[in-house]
C-alpha cells in the first residue's frame, strides 16, 4: 500500500525554515513553487542526502550539504457521494446519559472527538478507515457504527446538539485517505 503525506502551506514553510537552519537546499523546485493555498496530497518519492566528505579518518558528525526531496501529486480517490447526518454523544443520538459508563465511547472503544470521529456502515468503511469529506477541512476516522447507518451513509460526530441539528442531512463526496 502506498503511503501519502499531505503537505500544507505551513508544513512547506516549516521545511524551508529547517532547510535554512541546516543550510540545506531543496531542489528541483523551490519551496515557493510548491506552495499552494489548499493542502495538496503529495507522496515522497525519493529522499537523497548528500554529505560533505570529512577530512578526518574517524567521522563523528556528518555535515549534510543538500537534501533533495522529490514528490509527486496523488489524486484523491473518490468513494462516491454519501448521505451525511450528525450525531452527539447525548441521549438523543445514543440513548446514553452523561452518567452512563460508556457515554461518548464509540464502537471501536475510543472516545468521540470533534472534527475526527465518524460512524459508518462497517461493511462499506471498516473501523480505522480515514476519509475526507467534500467541503470540510479535516480528515475523519471511522470509529463508530450506527444502528440506522447503511451503505453510503455517514454520521459525523458534532458535540453540540444545536450544531448537530443544524447540520441536518447533507450529500457530500467522500474521499479515501491512503
Model confidence over 79-121: pLDDT tens digits? 999 999 999 999 999 999 999 999 999 999 999 999 999 999 9
Class of domain 77-176: mainly beta
Unique residue bearing C-alpha cell 460512524: 119
**Residue 38 scores a pLDDT above 90:** no
d(CA 123, CA 41): 27
Query: For 109, phi and psi rounded to 5 degrees?
Result: 95, 0
Instruction: Give the other-Cβ count within 10 Å of 1's Cβ.
Output: 4
Model confidence over 125-171: pLDDT tens digits? 999 999 999 999 999 999 999 888 999 999 999 999 999 999 999 99
Residue of higher predicted confidence among 12 and 70: 70
pLDDT given at position 76: 80
d(CA 177, CA 118): 14
**Residue 59 scores a pLDDT above 70:** no
Entry pTM? 0.61
- Cβ–Cβ under 8 Å, residues 79 and 176: yes
User: In the numeric block, which cell numbers belong to residue 7?
Assistant: 503537505
Per DSSP, which regions of the chain are E strands? 5-7, 40-51, 64-73, 77-87, 117-120, 130-133, 139-144, 153-157, 170-176
pLDDT given at position 66: 62
The 8-class DSSP code of residue 15 comes to: H
Domain boundaries, the chain: 5-73, 77-176
Amino acid at each position: 500500500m502506498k503511503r501519502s503525506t499531505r503537505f500544507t502551506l505551513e508544513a512547506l514553510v516549516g521545511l524551508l525554515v529547517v532547510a535554512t537552519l541546516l543550510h540545506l537546499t531543496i531542489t528541483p523546485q523551490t519551496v515557493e513553487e510548491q506552495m499552494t493555498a489548499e493542502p495538496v496530497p503529495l507522496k515522497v518519492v525519493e529522499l537523497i542526502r548528500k554529505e560533505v566528505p570529512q577530512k578526518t579518518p574517524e567521522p563523528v558528525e556528518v555535515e549534510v550539504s543538500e537534501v533533495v526531496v522529490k514528490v509527486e501529486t496523488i489524486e484523491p480517490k473518490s468513494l462516491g457521494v454519501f448521505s451525511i447526518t450528525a450525531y452527539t454523544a447525548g441521549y438523543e443520538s445514543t440513548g446514553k446519559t452523561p452518567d452512563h459508563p460508556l457515554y461518548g465511547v464509540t464502537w471501536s472503544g475510543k472516545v468521540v472527538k470533534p472534527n475526527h470521529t465518524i460512524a459508518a456502515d462497517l461493511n462499506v468503511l471498516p473501523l480505522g478507515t480515514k476519509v475526507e469529506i467534500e467541503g470540510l477541512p479535516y480528515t475523519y476516522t471511522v470509529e463508530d457504527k450506527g444502528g440506522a447507518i447503511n451503505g453510503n451513509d455517514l454520521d459525523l460526530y458534532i458535540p453540540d446538539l444545536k450544531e448537530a441539528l443544524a447540520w441536518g442531512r447533507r450529500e457530500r463526496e467522500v474521499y479515501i485517505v491512503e
